Structure 1
Amino acid sequence: MNRPWWYEDPPGPPRKVAGGIRARSRRGEIAQTWWSRRFIEVLESFGMGGRLARGRRYARAGQVLGMTLSTSVVVARVQGSRPEPYQVRIAVRAFREAEWRRVEDALAGQAWYAAKLLAGQMPQDIEDVFDRLGLKLFPDSQRELSMDCSCPDWEVPCKHLAATCYLLAESFDSDPFQILAWRGRTRTELLDHLRELRGRGGGETAAGEAGEAPALADCLDTFWTAPHPPPSPAPGAVAAPGALLDQLDPLPLTVRGRPVVDLLRPGYAALAGTDSDAAGTDRADR
């Protein structure tokens, strides 16, 4: 009788590995920021909560050997009980170019959103921008998320997929722009487009695609209304000391080979009452 290959090597404890990716959180919740917690909440809303918990130990033990995020797909190698690591894939639909242009136009039209993103931060209510355009930043159904693993476990997510989900959430903690990159827009592309739109007065608050003001007769009902105030910052939120510098286009000025913007950062950090070294580290992390 021919048996499947996995009958020949019964499952057991995972093989210990060195140099794997370990979750920074050693106990309690792994996701720390609102956007990474939101990602985990979305997965749990699909009825995956119990199965996700099985992968937490794998994530903290460093069983994930490598993980790469690119447009629409995350791939990882996870060491289980077999000699060969399992191949893991988590995919989501990337937005089309026309959809991203609509998102960027909406973001550029609100100074608050543009300033937060240009400062390397994720606006608290950015999901609302996508919702108004009929898009979802995070998948809202299990059908939008494709998960598979080369292990013999038929449940989805298996512990190898779950471990990858937790480490993906932690990577969102470190760099929220990875969420947008997963949907098809890298940090550089998004920020360059926002600077371009802001520079020419674009965005949904500008009138008309050609940049021309609408006729007065077409906007009498809104002409005397006050503009919408920017969203209130989250309680305790503090703007990065160099946020203003991050909104500038690159300046063609250097001092002894160093960009002048980098030389200004310690001064902004001192004025904000923060340590300049910490400010420099924050800049490097972004």
Structure 2
Amino acid sequence: MSVTNWYPQSRPLEVDGGVKARSTRGAIGQTWWSQRFIEVLEAIGIGSRLQRGRNYARRGQVISLDVGPGLVTAQVQGSRAQPYRVRIGIAAFGKSEWAQVEGVLAENAWYAASLLSNEMPSDIEDVFDAVGLSLFPTGIRELSLDCSCPDSAVPCKHLAATFYLLAEAFDEDPFEIFAWRGRDREELLENLAAARSARPAADRSEPAGPQLSDCLDSFFVRQADVRASSPPVTSSTALLDQLPEIPVAVRGRGLVETLRPAYDGFGADAS
């Protein structure tokens, strides 16, 4: 006969000023890239831990959340006085790997423009796939999960809460995903700008042209005669002919017929 350990469910201690999820109900993660990341959690989590993790995230039980190269650290308040230490590790890409990614990204200025608008390009995963890398973790084997709580389940509710808040951090700033993989915002943008400026003008996506300072004398000069288009000639009474029947009479005559001589006169004046 097997014996299953049973522990009574405990309530976490309340936290003042904790990191609360912006989502108060339903799914957490508003953008496609944060939802893509949460797929990993949902693929490895089972049972009620996912629901309890969402509750922890929404109650503000996470005291701190920090994203660094290859490692996310957090403090999560549980039922004990001492908060639990949470660590989520992932392989950070090296300089040569990032150089390959930046080389592909530099081929099109749209990538940098999208990121600066807080939008993750829709084909960003293809960029990483092209150099044999994966931006998002594809499974549990790519992650190192650790929590100081006594729960033997992985992921525990403290890890799950950290995952959900991490997804919302990705919602707010997609550069956090790159930071986790080893490249922060400033360095990534600087490397993209340097890579684009080093490429020959003929290879860039934007057409080459003279500098504005070299053509100020002729910039506002008309470059060619613009042919003015003439509007089609219509009868001066055409508007009256399009009016619906108006049940209004002026001195025994319909309104349209009363106005027609005046509109005929407009046409005569124009000619």
TM-score, length basis structure 2: 0.69
Change (3 A) 1:152 1:119: same
Q: Per the alignment, do residues 10 and 43 of structure 1 end up closer, same or farther by CA in structure 2, a change over 3 Å counting?
A: closer
Partner of 1:177: 175
Q: What is aligned with 1:153?
A: 151
Q: CA deviation at 1:202?
A: 6.9
CA distance in 2, matches of 1:40, 1:196: 34
Contact 1:43 1:49 in 2 (8 A): no
1:201 aligned partner = 199
Give the equivalent residue in structure 2 for 1:138.
Answer: 136
The equivalent residue for 1:116 is: 114
Deviations for 1:224-281, whole angstroms, at most 9, x for unmatched residues? xxx9xxxxxxxxxxxxxxxxxxxxxxxxxxxxxxxxxxxxxxxxxxxxxxxxxxxxxx
**CA contact 1:108–1:202 (8 Å) conserved in 2:** no
Q: 1:118 to 1:14 in 2, by over 3 A?
A: closer
Summarize the Cα distance change of 1:120–1:12 in structure 2 as closer, same or farther, 3 Å threshold. Answer: closer
User: 1:113 Cα deviation (Å)?
Assistant: 1.9
The alignment covers a number of residue pairs equal to: 200
Q: Which amino acid aligns with 1:66?
A: S
The match for 2:18 is 20
Q: CA deviation at 1:201?
A: 1.8
Unpaired runs of 5+ in structure 1? 1-6, 208-226, 228-286
Aligned 8 A contact 2:40 2:140 in 1: no
Flag the 1:17–1:118 CA change in 2: closer, same or farther, 3 A: closer
Per-residue deviation, residues 81-126 of structure 1 (Å, max 9, x unmatched): 1111101101100001100000000000123323323444210110
Structure 1 runs of 4+ aligned residues shifted over 6 Å read: none
User: How far apart are residue 52 of structure 1 and its match?
Assistant: 2.4
Match of 1:35 in 2: 33
Whole-angstrom distance in 2 between the partners of 1:47 and 1:66: 22
In the aligned structure 1, how far is the partner of 2:151 from the partner of 2:106? Answer: 45
C-alpha change, 1:198 and 1:149, in structure 2 (3 Å) is: same
Change (3 A) 1:118 1:17: closer
Task: Please name the residue that 1:107 is paired with.
Answer: 105
Work out whether residues 61 and 78 of structure 2, in 8 Å CA contact, stay in contact via their aligned partners in 1. Answer: yes
Given residue 95 of structure 1, which amino acid in structure 2 is its aligned partner? Answer: F
* CA-to-aligned-CA distance 1:39-92 (integer Å, 9 cap, x gap): 001222335585322200000001011111111101111110111110110110
Within 5 A, what are the aligned runs for 1:1-286?
12-48=10-46, 51-201=49-199, 206=203
Distance 1:107 1:68 in 2: 26
TM-score by length of 1: 0.65
Matched position secondary structure for 2:88: strand
Share of identical aligned residues, percent?
A: 59
- Which amino acid letter does the alignment assign opposite residue 148 of structure 1? D
Distance change (3 Å), C-alpha of 1:87 and 1:47: closer
